């Protein structure tokens, strides 16, 4: 597995431990989905304003969010190993972690799991789809031994 990191924020120090946690979170999703780990993913850590602009420009929603997923577009796939891009809002990570009584690391892991599932085609727009996605998230978090 190849994970490319891009840190464009100053809220959370992105340590080797955090990078390893992100990688383990991706691996957990691939394991529960019975997929080969021979994949590439880009993970960017950004602030509130940047993710708001991305959300506005690419989804037409002019507000901040916690994570965005950009699957590799079929039209541009040169190699099936490339899953796509994950954009994590570290300010929102800290806010949600505090609100839920979690560590920043647990929240980063959950958002990574959530986003990778999106890259694999899962969604939560319809109730049935949401139920299925939540079950996959639960299985991945259990695989990581951090399900609450």
Instruction: Mark the binding-site residues for Zn(2+), compressed into ranges.
Output: 114, 118, 124
What DSSP letter does each residue of 14-83 carry, written as one string?
--HHHHHHHHHHHHHHHHHTT--S--EEEEEEE-HHHHHHHHHHHHS--S--SEEEEEPPGGG-S-TTEE
44, β-bridge pairs: 6, 87
The packing angle between helices 104-119 and 16-32, to 10°, is 40
Binding residues, as ranges, are: 114, 118, 124
> Which residues, in sequence order, are CB contacts of 67 under 8 Å at separation 6+?
86, 87, 88, 89, 92, 111, 114, 115
**CA pair distance 108, 3, nearest whole angstrom:** 15
């Amino acid at each position: 597995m190849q994970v490319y990191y891009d840190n464009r924020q100053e809220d959370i120090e992105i340590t080797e431990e955090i990078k390893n946690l992100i990688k383990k979170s991706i691996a957990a999703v691939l394991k529960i989905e019975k997929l080969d780990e021979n994949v590439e993913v880009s993970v960017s850590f950004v602030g509130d304003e940047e993710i708001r602009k991305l959300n506005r420009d690419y989804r037409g929603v002019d507000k901040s969010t916690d994570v965005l997923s950009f699957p590799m577009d079929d039209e541009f796939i040169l190699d099936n190993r490339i899953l796509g891009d994950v954009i994590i809002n570290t300010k929102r990570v800290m806010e949600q972690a505090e609100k839920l009584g979690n560590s920043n690391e647990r929240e980063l892991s959950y958002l990574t799991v959530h986003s990778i599932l999106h890259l694999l085609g899962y969604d939560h727009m319809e109730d049935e789809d949401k139920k299925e996605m939540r079950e996959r998230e639960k299985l991945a978090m259990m695989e990581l031994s951090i399900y609450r």
